[in-house]
Structure 1
């Protein structure tokens, strides 16, 4: 019995962002004194898994952002929020939001595939252990003290 054939595998919905948390934007945004770059908080659709957080904070994400022209932008997970630093709403609207959505989809998929692979490996190890125990039971059953 493998995890992919007989055992239902619990799958998390893809990690997405539901939107920008406007109430957490700088209070002076849109004024003459407002910053041109700031941190934009976005709300996750669900709590990110630890592996998803690791991937988002990894060098691959930084490289993807830099390759797309956003070398100053950083992504930080804070509970159920993604903090997008050194950016602004205009950059997000002009393409950064789409790039971040793509990165999230890839991170979510990679983490899900890794979980499935680990589950399959654990299932296979469990089967090997069961076979080992059965062989021991059979060997012990063949011992007679008469």
Structure 2
């Protein structure tokens, strides 16, 4: 018997969020005597981040926001559909860093969405101007008679 699971595709314009920590990718020796106290925690994105969102996550604004909140030692990077939260640990994430990262992602997602919307409106306006220009030329050409 074959089981088919139907999932709805996540829209590219949906807010970028994190669905959770990928526990299977944590260091294998966590909570042992030899285990690291700080490590990279991989978190799974709700969808593939767009290039502009990745640029914003790598930007100085995000680094400053982390530093202002007391997390200047944290490094955020993107690998495919994962946010890699470097130089941290699960306890630090639980005690407030996860909330901050969620807020940062919400801001990045909103900014990228606004920029896309602004660009779309600008292109629509330019398209309207071009259509008016072409209509003017059609009308001007139609007024030319060779009789």
Equivalent residue number for residue 5 of structure 1 = none
Q: Secondary structure at the match of 2:29?
A: coil
Equivalent residue number for residue 112 of structure 2 = 111
Q: Which runs of 5+ in 2 are unaligned?
A: 1-10
Equivalent residue number for residue 12 of structure 1 = 13
Q: Secondary structure at the match of 1:43?
A: strand
Mapped contact 2:12–2:47 kept (Cα < 8 A):
no
Q: CA deviation at 1:26?
A: 0.4
- TM-score scaled by structure 1? 0.92
Quote the RMSD (CA, aligned, Å): 1.0
Q: Secondary structure at the match of 2:16?
A: coil
- Taking a change above 3 Å as real, the CA distance of residues 34 and 11 of structure 1, as seen in their structure-2 partners, is closer
Q: CA deviation at 1:11?
A: 6.9
Mapped contact 1:11–1:112 kept (Cα < 8 A):
no
Equivalent residue number for residue 73 of structure 1 = 74
Equivalent residue number for residue 131 of structure 1 = 132
Equivalent residue number for residue 35 of structure 2 = 34
1:35-55 C-alpha deviation (Å, 9 max, x unpaired): 011000000000011111110
Give the Cα separation in 1 of the matches to 2:80 and 2:25: 15
Work out which structure has the larger RCO, using CA pairs closer than 8 Å and 6 or more positions apart in sequence.
1
Q: Which runs of 5+ in 1 are unaligned?
A: 1-9
Give the Cα separation in 2 of the matches to 1:40 and 1:68: 19
- Number of aligned residue pairs: give it: 137
- TM-score scaled by structure 2? 0.91
